[in-house]
């Protein structure tokens, strides 16, 4: 599994909003400067996050963005499903398989997809904020 720039930047943007959630609506310029992500690129991600009901948006001189959910209610799986075409390359049918691949490979790929999805669905934005950098303890 590889997370695209779109997925990484969406997570980064939402983490920034979670870190600053007590400040009201946050401008895209502030997020862009803090996260060192192009404002133009963030503008492309916003419609996807709006469609997924993860962002709250307001216009005007005090406009900006904030999380539509509390950080503990927004999972990495939810965010990445919005921004990525797939979390893993699930094989759903024989037509998805190169004819040189043994069919016994299908349960392996589908099982891996399930494990990755379950893991990402357990990790919230709040969990990521709470992680102590340098003291990672991954359990899958």
The reply to whether 138 falls in a domain is no
The reply to whether 136 falls in a domain is no
pLDDT at 123: 96
Backbone angles phi, psi at 134, to 5 degrees: 95, -10
pLDDT mean by block of 10 residues, the chain; 140 residues:
87 96 94 95 94 91 92 95 72 56 75 88 95 62
pLDDT at 87: 61
Q: Which two tokens stand for residue 139?
A: 């359990």
The reply to whether 105 falls in a domain is yes
Of the candidates 1, 113, 15, the one whose C-alpha atom is nearest the C-alpha of residue 71 is 15
The reply to whether 16 falls in a domain is yes
The reply to whether 139 falls in a domain is no
The reply to whether 94 falls in a domain is yes
The reply to whether 137 falls in a domain is no
pLDDT at 140: 62
pLDDT at 138: 58
Backbone angles phi, psi at 56, to 5 degrees: -115, 135
Query: What is the number of structural domains in the chain?
Result: 1
Q: What CATH number is given to the structural domain containing 28?
A: 1.10.10.10
The reply to whether 72 falls in a domain is yes
**Residues in Cβ contact with 17 at an 8 Å cutoff, skipping those fewer than 6 apart:** 26, 31, 55, 65, 66, 67
pLDDT at 113: 83
Domain that holds residue 52: 5-130
Distance separating alpha carbons of residues 88 and 2, to the nearest angstrom: 8
Distance separating alpha carbons of residues 85 and 67, to the nearest angstrom: 23
Length, in residues, of the chain: 140
């Amino acid at each position: 599994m590889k997370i695209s720039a779109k997925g990484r930047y969406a997570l980064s943007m939402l983490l920034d909003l979670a870190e600053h959630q007590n400040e009201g609506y946050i401008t895209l310029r502030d997020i862009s400067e803090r996260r060192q992500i192009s404002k133009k690129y963030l503008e492309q991600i916003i419609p996807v996050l709006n469609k997924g009901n993860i962002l709250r948006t307001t216009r005007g001189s005090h406009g900006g963005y904030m999380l539509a959910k509390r950080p503990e209610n927004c999972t990495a799986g939810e965010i990445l499903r919005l921004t990525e075409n797939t979390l893993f390359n699930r094989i759903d049918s024989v037509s998805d398989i190169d004819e040189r691949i043994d069919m016994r490979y299908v349960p392996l790929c589908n099982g891996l997809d399930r494990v990755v999805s379950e893991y990402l669905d357990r990790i919230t934005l709040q969990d990521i904020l709470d992680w102590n950098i340098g003291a990672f303890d991954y359990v899958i």
